[in-house]
Structure 1
Amino acid sequence: MSTLAFQRTPITHHTLVTALGRGRAATFEALRSGRTGLARRGFETADIGSWLGVVDGLDELDWREDLAAYDCRNNRLAELALRSDCFAEAVQAAAVRWGARRVGVFLGTSTSGILQTELAYRERDAATGALPESLHYGETHNTASVARYVRAALGLQGPAHVVSTACSSSAKVFAAAERAIRLGVVDAAVVGGVDSLCMTTLYGFKALELTSGEICRPWDAERAGLSIGEAAAFALLERPDGPARAMGWLLGAGESSDGHHMSSPHPEGAGAAMAMRAALASAGLQPGEVGYLNLHGTATPGNDAAEDKAVSAVFGTATPCSSTKGYTGHTLGAAGGVEASIALLALEHGLAPPSLNLQTQDPALHAHLLREPLQADLRVVASNSFGFGGSNASLVFGAAA
Structure 2
Amino acid sequence: MIQENCYLNALGIICAAGNNGQQVKSNIQAGKINLLKSSDYHAGPALPLGLVDCELPPIPLADKKWQSRNNQCALAALEQIRPAVEEAINQFGSHRIAIIIGTSTSGIAESEKAIEQWVSTDTVPDSYHYGLQEMGAPAQFIAEVFGTTGPTYGISTACSSGAKAIATAQRLLSAGLCDAVIAGGVDTMCKLTVQGFSSLQAVSNEVCNPFSLNRKGINIGEGAALFLISGNKSGVELLGAGESSDAHHISAPEPNGAGAIKCMQAALDDAQIAANQIDYINLHGTATELNDQMESTAVQHIFGTNTLCSSTKPFTGHTLGAAGAIEAGICWLMLADKQQRFVPPHLWDEEVDPQLASIKLVSKSSIETNSINYALSNSFAFGGNNISLLLGRMS
The TM-score, its normalising length taken from structure 1, stands at 0.93
Alignment equivalent of 1:105, drawn from 77, 99, 106: 99
Helix, strand or coil: the match of 1:350?
coil
Letter in 2 for 1:287: A
Helix, strand or coil: the match of 2:314?
helix
CA deviation map 1:19-61 (0-9, x unaligned): 1221110000011100012122233565553210111234x63
Alignment equivalent of 1:293, drawn from 281, 284, 290: 281
* 2:304 paired with 1:316: yes
Q: CA RMSD in A?
A: 1.7
Retained in 2: the 8 A contact 1:88–1:154?
Answer: no
Kindly report structure 1 stretches of 4+ aligned residues shifted beyond 6 Å.
Answer: none
* 2:380 paired with 1:393: no
Helix, strand or coil: the match of 1:40?
strand
Q: Which residue of 1 aligns with 2:331?
A: 343
Distance in 2 separating the partners of 1:340 and 1:257: 20
Q: Which residue of 2 aligns with 1:79?
A: 75
CA deviation map 1:182-216 (0-9, x unaligned): 11100010110000000100100000000011110
Letter in 2 for 1:210: A
Retained in 2: the 8 A contact 1:100–1:156?
Answer: yes
Letter in 2 for 1:137: Y
Letter in 2 for 1:254: G
**Paired residues, number:** 389
Helix, strand or coil: the match of 1:189?
strand
Helix, strand or coil: the match of 2:270?
helix
Helix, strand or coil: the match of 2:281?
strand
* 2:187 paired with 1:191: no
Letter in 2 for 1:135: Y
Q: Which residue of 1 aligns with 2:371?
A: 377
Q: Which residue of 1 aligns with 2:129?
A: 136
CA drift at 1:136: 1.0
CA deviation map 1:59-99 (0-9, x unaligned): x6333243543111111111111123xx1121111011111
Retained in 2: the 8 A contact 1:24–1:345?
Answer: yes
* 2:33 paired with 1:36: yes
Helix, strand or coil: the match of 1:107?
strand
CA drift at 1:369: 0.8
Retained in 1: the 8 A contact 2:41–2:195?
Answer: no
CA drift at 1:7: 4.1
Alignment equivalent of 1:283, drawn from 265, 271, 292: 271
> 356-365 vs 390-399, which deviates more?
356-365
Q: Which residue of 2 aligns with 1:268?
A: 256
Q: Which residue of 2 aligns with 1:202?
A: 194
Helix, strand or coil: the match of 1:228?
coil
Retained in 2: the 8 A contact 1:75–1:149?
Answer: yes
* 2:84 paired with 1:90: yes
Distance in 2 separating the partners of 1:328 and 1:276: 23
CA drift at 1:316: 0.9
Structure 1 gaps, min length 5: none
Cα separation, partners in 2 of 1:29 and 1:122, compared to 1, 3 Å = same
The TM-score, its normalising length taken from structure 2, stands at 0.94
Helix, strand or coil: the match of 1:104?
strand
Retained in 2: the 8 A contact 1:46–1:199?
Answer: no
Distance in 2 separating the partners of 1:65 and 1:98: 25
Distance in 2 separating the partners of 1:25 and 1:167: 25
Letter in 2 for 1:62: P
Q: Identical aligned pairs, as a percentage?
A: 39
